[in-house]
Amino acid sequence: MTETRKLAKYLASLGYGSRKEMEVAIRRGRVTGWGEDVEFDGEPLDPGPGMVILMHKPAGYTCSHQDQGKLVYDLLPPRFLKRDPKISSVGRLDADTTGLLLFTDDGALLHRLISPKSDIPKTYEATLARPLEGFEKEFFASGSLILRGEDKPCLPAELEVTGERTARLTLSEGRYHQVRRMFAAAGNHVEALHRSRFGPLELGDLSEGAWRLLTEAERAGLAP
């Protein structure tokens, strides 16, 4: 395979276009540089396989490739969705939940991060329908809470009361709608939910709907 075809194949795997389209782009001078300094239309290439994206998910967006309505993937550059390997969200946040959401095309990393054995702490800020009653911190930390429809108790979770109807909950599991169901088991209802932290990662000043690539150091710290 010629160098042009190899480069065209690589560009196609990053989602810039088909192989034939990339061969034409190369011939027309849209691809410049060499080695690690290749540019497409004057811009550095996207990272190769192993890319991890951090997004500040807005409310109203679904973590799906196929559902109707607004999808979190709509917030990413269209070429990202044509990459091979495919980009997927690391777990899900329901449509009404905002906050830190990760994406990657690294299947092995994805499975490590969502595995029940990963033990990665995730922190959520909850706004509740009714005032907290005072027993919730001990209740969530007990390791004895069994959610409705399940038979295995939740792992101990740490609750920090931040207001009369607000709380910060840190847990190391990722069960279906877990935070909402935990507060429901405590006789309350979550009106708003925001994930502020995933392992060592925080949103910082990233605006709602925006995203950024993780640095190599952040990626290494996420799943050593």
* Residue 224 confidence (pLDDT) above 80: no
**The 31-32 sheet, strands edge to edge:** 31-32, 39-40, 43-44
* Residue 223 confidence (pLDDT) above 80: no
Residues 16-28 have pLDDT tens digits of 999 999 999 999 9
The average pLDDT across 21-41 equals 93
Which CATH architecture group holds 122-198?
2-Layer Sandwich (3.30)
Q: Within a 10 A sphere around the Cβ of 165, how many other Cβ atoms?
A: 15
| CATH domain 52-116+204-222 topology | Alpha-Beta Plaits (3.30.70)
Least confident range of 43-47, 67-71, 168-172: 67-71
Domain boundaries, the chain: 3-44, 52-116+204-222, 122-198
Q: Supply the residues annotated as catalytic.
A: 94
Q: Is the pTM of this model over 0.85?
A: yes
Residues 157-180 have pLDDT tens digits of 999 999 999 999 999 998 999 999
